[in-house]
Amino acid sequence: MKKEVNTDLIFRGARLAFLFTGALLTGVVVAHGGATGVVKERMEMMKDVGDNMKQVGAMIKGQAAFDSMVIAKHAQAISDAAPQIPELFPSDSLHKPTEALPAIWEEWDQFSALSVKLGDEAKKLQETAQGRDKRAISRQFAKLGKVCSSCHTDYRKKEEK
């Protein structure tokens, strides 16, 4: 009888270990989105840009202390990232889990123009932030956000998780 109980325990243990490994693997996949190569690189770059926008957004929404010098820093990070966008989208780099749409390469001029615009508007935000005028900063932030939106509208298909 004792032996049988042991087998049962071993079996259960194995099953637990299996489940645990599965959970770990899933965790890894979720953390990196399974992305590799240039897709991974650009997803991380976009995430960085998003994080910068998030910090500024929180200040404008009144959820964080408003500090125009910090806003200028975030704006600069975005204007530095913007020129890298075109090279992070080599033709037909559409492997999973990318959310990029083929329209990017069909309308390359418009797409790359948007990356220039992103840099310009971010630069302007950086300059506006020097003036410390909250209204002007908010307005410029909205203009910058509009570039994000228009690119995501035409060139990204969000995958719901």
Partner 1 sequence: MNSPILMLPALLIAIATAPTTWATEREINDPVKKGEYIFNMGGCASCHTATDDQPLAGGLPMETPFGVFYTPNITSDESTGIGAWSNADFIRAMTKGEAPDGSHYYPAFPYTSYSKMSRQDLLALKQFLDKQTPIVSKNKSHELAFPFNIRPLMTLWKLVNFDDAPFQANKDKSQAWNRGAYIVNGPGHCGECHSPRNLLGGIKTDGLLTGNPEGPEGESVPGLTMTKDNRVSQWSDEDLLFSIQIGMTPDGDFLGGSMGHVIENSTGRLSETDLKAIIEYLRDIES
DSSP string, 101-139: -THHHHTHHHHHHHHHHHHHHHHHHHHHHHHT-HHHHHH
- Least spacing, CB of residue 153 vs partner 1, in Å: 3
Identify which of 47, 49, 69, 41 has the alpha carbon closest to the alpha carbon of residue 122. 49
Piece of the chain touching partner 1 by CB under 8 A; list 12-20, 29-37, 106-114, 147-155: 147-155
Q: Verify binding: residue 158, partner 1, rule CB under 8 A.
A: yes
Q: Verify binding: residue 102, partner 1, rule CB under 8 A.
A: no
- Least spacing, CB of residue 29 vs partner 1, in Å: 19
Q: Binding residue for partner 1 (CB under 8 A) from 1, 3, 31, 62?
A: 62
Q: Verify binding: residue 141, partner 1, rule CB under 8 A.
A: yes
How far does Cα 122 stand from its chain's mean position? 16
Tell me how far apart the terminal alpha carbons of the chain are, to the nearest angstrom: 48
Residues at the contact surface with partner 1, assessed by CB under 8 A: 49-55, 57, 60-63, 134-135, 138-139, 141-143, 145-146, 148-160
